[in-house]
Homo-oligomer: A and B are copies of this chain.
Amino acid sequence: MVRWEPGATDRLRVAALDLYLQQGYEQTTVGEIAKSVGLTERTFFRHFADKREVLFDAEGHLEQAFVDAVAAAPPEAAPLEVIQAALTTTAQFFGAERRSWSQKRYQVISANLPLKERELLKMASLANALAAALQRRGVPELVAALAAQTGIAVFTVAFEQWIADGETRSLVEVERELLGELKVLAAALR
């Protein structure tokens, strides 16, 4: 006999997003999420650090993919070319089949400031990891930080455009356009 249903973490993730969507983030209590999958509030907090993290703890994979892609770029590649390569590689996480799910998740996050804050923290963590990975390639600290932050800026703007209504291009295509725009923007600097 099975003492506990398996996959508690996943069940909590799914239930939380559902409830946040259906009745709002603030209106949903942690006890409610847990109860809806046959667990207790205390157990929720053994799987996730807090009420927000349930939507974000999977992003560690994305960060790892970014770091790996930076390390795998050709040795002679310039910093922003490395970033470009990493953006291209990791864009595979966001195929057309994930667009609808990404839209739902983004809808919840952008409607709730506490969730937006947590997302920004994850992006900042990603930027730090990128900068560290660039430094391991010999890029000086300040330049690495700037290139990493810039890369995250491109990713953020590209992602928001990718899930926008009416947008049909892939994430990679949007990212490429933005990197082109960035080149134009920077070239126009005195």
Contact = CB atoms under 8 A, between A and B. Distances in A.
A54 interface: no
A156 B128 CA distance: 12
A80 B189 contact: yes
A111 interface: no
A57 to B, nearest CB: 14
A25 to B, nearest CB: 15
B156 A149 contact: yes
A161 interface: yes
B157 A145 contact: yes
Contact of A143 (B124, B185, B186): B185
Interface of A: 78-81, 84, 113, 116-118, 120-121, 123-124, 142-143, 145-147, 149-150, 152-154, 156-157, 160-161, 177-179, 181-183, 185-190
